[in-house]
Structure 1
């Protein structure tokens, strides 16, 4: 007996469902890692504890993250992917720094820039210097991803990729410094006001580049 072929729509729907389930598991592991780190301190949290809290096996954890630090900083990577998407959506002829600044403005206007999870994770890093190395690795990966988005706008004007990497690093540094300043005195100014001023200052030498 010949089984009827499934339509392309059904196959695509099943593939989309699998991806949504994977993302849900990844997010659950990330949330467990953050919650346990906030409750007990990151040094006392194990991969096994994170997996148990999320209701999955240790092997399943390894399918998604290499270690507990990677699970903890997953939210930052997710935020940066969204920011990269907004950069891609900017007009093709827009100068790189202008595209980054406009994407940041759109991103923070949509999220208010004050995702409680993000703030909690940022404060956790400030309280536990042991996480600094993992944060540096996360920012390095984010820098590479963002530089790749910027490089498209330089076309053949930046064959070595130095300018794109410099823009991405400067942009992320402005965001990171703004966050640290805001966390010191959150009541004195809005986070986006600090970001906007930092991007304006940092971008003076990039503003006219195409």
Structure 2
């Protein structure tokens, strides 16, 4: 069956928009990695991506968003996937399952993600934006977990699970970046979640 021309046009338009968004994000990351956050302007980012400053603002409200926002980390999609995990799956395993698609997309975009981690480490002023986004996701996640395990949202378990799994994921990302992506992000996340599932025992000393 032949695709309808209108559908092909929409698909092409969406791909071009994503290419422009990716070009702006990549340019921003490279420039800030080289010069620092305060020494790069929107105009310079736009020029490096070969678009106008007006086009930049069609994709990002400010310079910081071009550095930290990424389509591969779609919190709404993660939360939808968490809600779709069968109810018989334990909550910790359900969170790990829901993270799978996001992790795969990050791994596929490995070079840009590793560069983003370097930029964030060198420019702590970006952290409040990341924290604010994480707080909203954690709030909704707490509600979903509460519904899954059948307790009120103010019960200690849902909020604790949301907090510790978020910390486990961030820890795995930091290890991934520190190792320059040599190990799979998925393996590192699995390792962190398995440690949580085991009750966070003390590690065995290396022989």
2:144 — aligned with what?
151
Give the SS at the match of 2:4.
Answer: helix
Deviations 1:157-201 (A, max 9, x none): 466487666544432221112333454566997654442232234
Contact 2:91/2:145 (8 A) holds in 1:
no
How far off is 1:33 after superposition? 0.9
Higher deviation after alignment, 26-35 or 13-22 = 13-22
Q: Return 5+ residue gaps in structure 1 as ranges.
A: 1-7, 206-210
- SS of structure 1 residue aligned to 2:73: helix
**Deviations 1:79-130, CA, capped at 9 Å, x for gaps:** 3459727646644643432122134456656765881211121122222222
* Change beyond 3 A, Cα 1:9–1:31: same
Change (3 A) 1:128 1:172: same
- Is the 2:24–2:56 Cα contact (8 Å) retained in structure 1? yes
Structure 2 match to 1:202: 196
Aligned to 2:60: 65
| Pairing of 1:74-89 with structure 2 (within 5 A) | 74-75=69-70, 77-81=71-75, 84=78, 87=82
Cα distance, 1:131 vs. partner?
Answer: 2.1
Aligned counterpart for 2:89 among listed residues 86, 89, 94: 94
Match for residue 134 of structure 1 among 129, 138, 160: 129
Separation (CA, whole Å) in 2 of partners of 1:35 and 1:115: 15
Checking the alignment, whether the CA contact within 8 Å between 1:96 and 1:154 is kept in structure 2 is no
* TM-score (norm: length of structure 2): 0.70
**Partner of 1:55: helix, strand, or coil?**
coil
The match for 2:38 is: 43
SS in 2 for 1:94: coil
For the aligned residue pairs, the C-alpha RMSD in angstroms reads 3.8
Question: Counterpart of 2:32 in 1: which secondary structure?
Answer: helix
TM-aligned CA distance change 1:189 to 1:35, over 3 Å: closer
Indicate which of 176, 181, 205 corresponds to 2:170.
176
Query: Which 10-residue stretch deviates more, 109-118 or 181-190?
Result: 181-190
Which residue in 2 is equivalent to 1:5? none
> Do the aligned partners of 2:31 and 2:40 also contact (CA within 8 Å) in 1?
yes
Corresponding pairs, count: 195
Kindly state the Cα deviation for residue 65 of structure 1 after the two structures are TM-superposed.
0.9
Aligned residue for 2:25? Answer: 30
For 2:161 and 2:30, the matched residues in 1 are separated by: 34
SS at match of 1:78: coil
CA 1:38–1:158: 2 relative to 1, 3 Å = same
8-17 or 53-62, which deviates more: 8-17
What is the TM-score when the length of structure 1 is the normalising length?
0.69
